[in-house]
Amino acid sequence: MKKIYFTFLILLVLDVSAQETPKFYLHENGVTCMCPNAAIGESGVVNGITYTKRTKKQIEPGNASTTCTSGITDMSYLFDGKKGFNGIFPHGM
């Protein structure tokens, strides 16, 4: 009986851990990509767009619109000195 109970507990724990929040998801505002639990360099698809979590130093004009910025707290001077940048930023960036 103890083995059955122990097996049930293991299966329950595995089932609960499988229901974690996805690493990439849409914020409740309906437009902002969130990725607080993803590691730098990880990618995920939100509404058909593949986003990548990057550090501030990794963000460039060519990848800004597909960058998840969760965890970056200071974006001052992000494109300082970049000439001709007129790209679209993801909402909330």
Q: Report pLDDT for 87.
A: 60
Specify the DSSP element, H or E, that contains 53: strand 49-53
Query: Residue 65: which of 38, 93, 85 has the closest Cα?
Result: 93
Q: Report pLDDT for 92.
A: 47
> Mean pLDDT of all residues in the chain?
80
Give me the sheet containing 49-53, strands edge to edge: 43-46, 49-53, 67-68
Are the C-beta atoms of 92 and 31 separated by less than 8 Å? yes
Angle at 84 between CA 83 and CA 90, to 5 degrees: 105
pLDDT at 93 > cutoff 90: no
